[in-house]
């Protein structure tokens, strides 16, 4: 909007923070004040807890919050994705019910997309949601669901129609994760974390009003969620740390971070920790090795290129463009950096890269990099999926030939039949 200039936004927000920011408030009290003001998600519409601020000015808002060390709204994993998805596709009733509580951190969310037989082929989801009277009854299994054990609600992609092509038979729901028909089983990873879960749904129930848009719109809505996830892929490289301040609100935030961010503590390691490479080479004493220096230079060049690619995605957002293929470019670049960092860490540390414990490099942190980096090439869409998106939407190449997109999904050969 024309009245929003950098100087105007900075002056308005600075005055508002000086009047309202109080670290002696509780975290919930402050976030409710923040949500009511519109400064928590200022790019959102005024009628839904925003200020209609052009996204290009979000940088100013971030700077002003950091200037006074003020806490923002809750921003954690799938909860952030839920906010953007419900805002874009939810009814007014769903926005009223869920947006505020997501921003204040009162509700936590998970993403119920991947299945044992359908991860990259997300449109092949077999979980069924059948309308029975005044409810949908859900049966099926999801897997690799981050933070499902902490979630109050899930973003559920389920099949409502087997007699249309697979993309057309999907619907998108909000599901209560605390009901008897939902069982969450943690998955222990080889890096000894348990961030992911299997979710079994047996006659779980979803009210019809928890359907986003209409039956058959699930693929379109899931694309919105995934585009936001891929656009934020570079955030995996940043570790979230609570402040050292001791006022009440910071203590409560630290407790929130310890719980909600626990599943994500290894995410910087899966991104490769390129930031540790030069320091580690100095510690080991190989920083003057010309071969090592060449590999470090290649890695740092790739890392800078990945950063610039992610900035292109943020620039597109700042220009008001919807999430697009630039998110896939950024995610693919991040995967390449992670794999390269893995190789360089191994070159620098040798066999010690595999060691864990107090006597290992960085107390096992380098070993965690070694076994965690493959994950970034899978989560949020595999590298192969990102390459397909780039080839079709950026390079305008023909789509891959498919046999399953123009026939009723019931007729498509599958590994297992859906439950009736």
- CATH fold of 79-231: Butyryl-CoA Dehydrogenase, subunit A; domain 2 (2.40.110)
Q: Which of 105, 89, 94 is nearest to 29 (CA)?
A: 105
Q: Using alpha carbons only, what angle is made at residue 380 by residues 212 and 35, rounded to the nearest 5 degrees?
A: 55
Q: What is the pLDDT of residue 238?
A: 47
- Is residue 141 within 8 Å of 201, Cβ to Cβ? yes
Q: Which of 338, 379, 333, 370 is nearest to 147 (CA)?
A: 379
Residues forming a β-bridge with 132: 135
pLDDT per residue of the chain (420 residues) written in tens, 0 to 9: 457 899 999 999 999 999 999 999 999 999 999 999 999 999 999 999 999 998 889 889 999 999 999 999 987 778 889 999 999 999 999 999 999 999 999 999 999 999 998 877 888 999 999 999 999 999 999 999 999 999 999 999 999 999 999 999 999 999 999 999 999 999 998 888 888 999 999 999 999 999 999 999 999 999 989 887 765 554 444 455 666 788 899 999 988 888 877 778 888 899 999 999 999 999 999 999 999 999 999 999 999 998 888 777 777 766 666 666 777 888 899 999 999 999 999 999 999 998 888 888 888 899 999 999 998 888 878 889 889 989 988 888 998 777 777 889 888 877 654 454
Q: Which of 243, 241, 256 is nearest to 27 (CA)?
A: 256
Query: DSSP character for 118?
Result: B
Residues forming a β-bridge with 174: 155
Q: What is the pLDDT of residue 416?
A: 54
Q: Are strands 196-206 and 135-142 parallel, antiparallel or unpaired?
A: antiparallel
Q: Which of 216, 206, 198 is nearest to 159 (CA)?
A: 216
What is the total residue count of the chain? 420
Q: What is the pLDDT of residue 233?
A: 52
**Sequence ranges of the domains in the chain:** 6-67, 79-231, 265-381
Place of tokens 């002056």: 11
Q: 32 in helix, strand or coil?
A: helix
Q: 52 in helix, strand or coil?
A: coil
| Whole-number Å distance between alpha carbons of 79 and 74 | 8
Q: Which residues contact 394 (CB under 8 A, 6 or more apart)?
A: 325, 329
Q: What is the pLDDT of residue 243?
A: 67
Alpha-carbon distance values, 311 to 68, 200, 225, 318, 384 (Å): 25, 38, 19, 10, 22
Region of 38 (left: φ > 0; alpha: ψ -120 to 50; beta: rest) is: left
Structure tokens at 266: 């290894």
């Amino acid at each position: 909007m024309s009245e929003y200039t950098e100087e105007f936004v900075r002056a308005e927000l600075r005055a508002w923070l000086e009047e309202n920011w109080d670290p002696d408030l509780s975290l919930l009290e402050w976030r409710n004040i923040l949500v009511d003001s519109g400064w928590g998600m200022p790019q959102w519409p005024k009628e839904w807890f925003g200020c209609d601020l052009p996204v290009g000015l979000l940088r100013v808002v971030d700077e002003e919050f950091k200037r006074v060390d003020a806490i923002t709204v809750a921003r954690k994993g799938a909860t952030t994705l839920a906010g953007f998805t419900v805002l874009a596709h939810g009814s007014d009733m769903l926005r009223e019910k869920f947006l505020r509580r997501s921003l204040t951190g009162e509700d936590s969310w998970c993403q119920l997309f991947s299945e044992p037989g359908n991860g990259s082929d997300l449109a092949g989801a077999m979980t069924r949601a059948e309308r029975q009277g005044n409810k949908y009854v859900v049966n099926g299994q999801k897997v690799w669901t981050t933070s499902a054990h902490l979630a109050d609600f899930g973003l559920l992609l389920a099949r409502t129609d087997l007699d249309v092509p697979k993309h057309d038979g999907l619907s998108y729901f909000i599901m209560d994760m605390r009901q008897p028909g939902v069982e969450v089983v943690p998955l222990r990873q080889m890096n000894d974390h348990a961030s992911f879960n299997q979710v079994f749904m047996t006659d779980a129930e979803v009210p019809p009003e928890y359907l986003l848009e209409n039956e058959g719109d699930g693929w379109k809505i899931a694309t919105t969620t995934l585009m936001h996830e891929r656009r934020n892929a570079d955030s995996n490289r940043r570790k979230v740390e609570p402040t050292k301040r001791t006022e009440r609100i910071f203590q409560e935030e630290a407790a929130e971070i310890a719980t909600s961010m626990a599943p994500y503590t290894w995410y910087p390691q899966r991104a490769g920790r390129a930031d540790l490479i030069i320091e580690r080479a100095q510690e080991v004493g190989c920083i003057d090795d010309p071969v090592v220096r060449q590999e470090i230079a290649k890695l740092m060049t790739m890392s800078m290129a990945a950063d610039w690619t992610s900035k292109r995605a943020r620039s597109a957002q700042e220009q008001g463009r919807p999430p697009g293929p630039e998110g896939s470019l950024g995610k693919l670049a991040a995967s390449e950096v992670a794999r390269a960092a893995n190789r360089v860490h191994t070159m620098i540390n040798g066999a010690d890269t595999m060691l864990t414990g107090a006597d290992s490099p960085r107390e096992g942190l380098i070993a965690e990099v070694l076994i965690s980096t493959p994950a970034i090439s899978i989560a949020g869409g595999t590298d192969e999926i990102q390459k397909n998106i780039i080839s079709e939407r950026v390079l305008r190449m023909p789509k891959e030939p498919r046999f399953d997109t123009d026939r009723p999904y019931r007729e498509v050969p599958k590994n297992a039949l859906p439950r009736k």
